Every structure is written in C-alpha cells, then in structure tokens.
C-alpha cells in the first residue's frame, strides 16, 4: 500500500514540504531562514513568522514539482514535535486545516523518529533491528530501532547536544552562525591532535558536551591573553582538534552500545550527520568493528519534509492517524 502523502516540517528554522507517492519521494522543497544569522542563533518568534511567510509557497512548489493535485492526496502529515512551539503550531495548524478541508486523514509525526526513518527513503536501507546515532542541533541520542514504530532510546545527552557543541565552540572561535559547517570546513586543513581537549566520559551510553565548551573557553582565554592573534594563527588546528574531540565522544558511546546490544548495523541520522569528519570517522570505525553503516543523502540529514513523509507512510500502513484535537508538543518523546 503506497499512499500519496503531503508532509510538512516546521520544527525549527526550516520550512519544508514534500510529496511521497508510489513509495518514493517525488518532491522535497525547503525554505531556509536567513534572518537568524545576525543574532547568532535561532530566534523563536522570528522563526514562526518566517514559517507563516514560507509555508504556502513551499507547499505549492512541492505539489507542482511532484505533479500531484491536492485532491489526489491520501493523507496530510506534519511534524508534531519536538521543536519550537510557535514553529510547530504554524505547520500543525496548516496541516490540520488542509486535511479537514480535503476530508483526508491526518498523520502526526515525531521529528526524531523521522530523522531515523530517513534511512528508508533511498537504498541501501538498514534491516531491523539496528542501532542509530542521531546527532542534531538539539538532540544527541542512541536508539535501538526494532521496527519503524518500535524504538528505544538507550543513551542521550545530559546537557548540550553535539550540534550545540559545534556551534557554541565555533562561536568562541569567531566563526559565523551556524558555526558547525564552517568549523567542519576549516578542520579539513588542520591537525586534529594538536590541542587535546577532554572527551566526555559518561556512564552507560549517555553523552556530555558542556565540559568541552568550558575547556575551549578557558583555553582560548589563556592563550589569547599571551597572544591576541592566537586564534587566527591556529584556526584550522583549533577547529580540527575540537571536531576530533566531539567525534571521539560520540564514537566512544556508540562503540560501547553496539557491542553490548550485539548490533552491527549502524545508522547515522540528524543534521550533524552531514559533518564530513564524523562521516569519515564512522566509516573508519566500521571497518575496524565489522559494522555496516548507513547514512542518508545530505538533503535528508538536515530538517526536511521528505523524512516526515517517509515516516508518515509507515504510520499510514499501520493505521496510525491523528484527529483534529492533536496538539503540537515541543517536548514530544520518541517512545
């Protein structure tokens, strides 16, 4: 059963709409928001206003690109949470109104589940069960994925997420927002072992990155007090060393969880999955451990409606529909 689904994603600062038909993503349109750059981070009120401006043009573009009429839809899906409440409400209210007007079923999708199920958009696809490391600006999780609708978080960050660690340390280095991609690019020309920073060592499978941020802050204060141009003179090595530390923190817990759970199929999801250093380190680790690694295409790593549509197809097939009373939930749990 391959329904025709329009999906909407508006959890943070990207407005996206996608159409899935015949089991394939026919369109995946994303409008980014440039307004936040001058503030060095996402401003929730500005994000929700931008969603209001972008949503209708994005939906129209997705339908047109897919060659699908609104009347041809079998369901309308949207991101219920987690995310910014105002942003979620914009996408959720639009989806509910459209579904009601068309007389079509409504599907409420968990954003973190969608990141994981983005692996099923294109081949190769993992086979259940598998272990997924989800790394994004707001979340870092280790998830045992038993089926499309049966997932268990076995480890997560207790403070900053990996994406936050990238962006906050990049800001300390004077890099523009969002800092993660800039740090990744500069790190390619640097020495990853020149400046040793502490690897967060948490019990079990949890993560911690706040200690790294503090260590980098005090290290830079000390060095720039002696040499005001220290950051500029050592920027590639600093970026490489910070990135190396974040990656080693992630791999340390991933390695432990994979061994304890007896899983060799490993998936990487979330916006930070686009980081070239992490991708390469995971491939190297896979060779050493005998893992089979799965990473979605770049456009399905960052926030997008394609992954929401794919998740909605699984829910449609399971008869998992929402009614008009469903509420957006900024702290929606995966389980």
The answer to whether 167 is a known ligand-binding residue is yes
Compute CA 139 distance to the chain's CA centroid, rounded to the nearest angstrom: 8
Quote the Cα angle for 230-198-281, to 5°.
95
Q: Are 121 and 307 in contact (CB under 8 A)?
A: yes
Quote the Cα angle for 152-155-160, to 5°.
130
Distance from C-alpha of 298 to C-alpha of 226, rounded to nearest angstrom: 41
Q: Are 20 and 26 in contact (CB under 8 A)?
A: yes
Length of the chain measured in residues: 335
The answer to whether 303 is a known ligand-binding residue is yes
Q: What is the DSSP string of 8-19?
A: EE-SSSEEEEEE
The answer to whether 136 is a known ligand-binding residue is yes
The answer to whether 139 is a known ligand-binding residue is no
> E strands along the chain, which residues?
5-9, 14-21, 24-32, 75-81, 106-110, 130-135, 140-147, 150-156, 265-269, 292-294
Distance from C-alpha of 83 to C-alpha of 42, rounded to nearest angstrom: 12
Q: What is the DSSP string of 95-137?
A: HHHHHHHHT--EEEEEHHHHHHHGGGSSSS---SSEEEEEE-S
The answer to whether 74 is a known ligand-binding residue is no
Q: What is the CA radius of gyration of the chain?
A: 20
The answer to whether 111 is a known ligand-binding residue is yes
**Would you say the C-alpha torsion 174, 179, 185, 190 has a positive or negative sign?**
positive
The answer to whether 103 is a known ligand-binding residue is no
Distance from C-alpha of 81 to C-alpha of 89, rounded to nearest angstrom: 10
The answer to whether 137 is a known ligand-binding residue is yes
Question: Nearest CA to 187 among 60, 294, 277?
Answer: 277
Residues annotated within a binding site for Fe cation = 111, 115, 303
Residues annotated within a binding site for substrate = 134-138, 167, 180, 184, 275
Residues annotated within a binding site = 111, 115, 134-138, 167, 180, 184, 275, 303
């Amino acid at each position: 059963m391959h329904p025709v689904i329009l999906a909407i994603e508006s959890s943070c600062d990207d407005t996206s709409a996608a159409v899935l038909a015949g089991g394939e993503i026919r369109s995946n349109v994303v409008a980014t928001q440039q307004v936040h750059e001058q503030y060095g981070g996402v401003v929730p009120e500005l994000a929700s206003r931008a969603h209001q401006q972008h949503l209708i043009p994005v939906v129209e573009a997705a339908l047109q690109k897919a060659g699908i009429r609104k009347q041809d839809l079998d369901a309308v899906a949207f991101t219920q949470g987690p995310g910014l409440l105002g942003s979620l409400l914009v996408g959720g209210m639009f989806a509910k109104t459209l579904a009601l007007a068309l007389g079509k079923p409504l599907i409420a999708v968990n954003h973190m589940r969608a990141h994981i199920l983005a692996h099923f958009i294109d081949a190769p696809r993992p086979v259940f069960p598998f272990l997924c490391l989800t790394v994004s600006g707001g979340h870092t999780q280790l998830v045992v994925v038993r089926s499309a609708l049966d997932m268990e978080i076995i480890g997560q960050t207790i403070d900053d997420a990996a994406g936050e660690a990238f962006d906050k340390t990049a800001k300390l280095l004077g890099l523009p927002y969002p800092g993660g991609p800039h740090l990744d690019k500069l790190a390619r020309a640097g020495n990853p072992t020149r400046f040793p920073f502490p690897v967060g060592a948490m019990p079990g499978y949890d993560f911690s990155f706040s200690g790294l941020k503090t260590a980098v802050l005090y290290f830079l204060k000390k060095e720039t007090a002696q040499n005001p141009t220290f950051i500029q003179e050592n920027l590639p090595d600093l970026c490489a060393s910070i990135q190396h530390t974040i990656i080693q923190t992630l791999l340390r817990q991933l390695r432990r969880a994979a061994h304890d759970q007896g899983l060799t199929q490993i998936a990487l999801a979330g916006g930070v999955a686009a980081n070239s250093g992490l991708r390469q380190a995971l491939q190297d680790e896979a060779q050493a451990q005998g893992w089979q690694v799965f990473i979605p295409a770049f456009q399905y790593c960052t926030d997008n409606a394609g992954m929401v549509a794919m998740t909605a197809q699984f829910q449609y097939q399971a008869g998992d529909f929402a009614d008009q009373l469903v509420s957006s939930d900024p702290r929606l749990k995966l389980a």
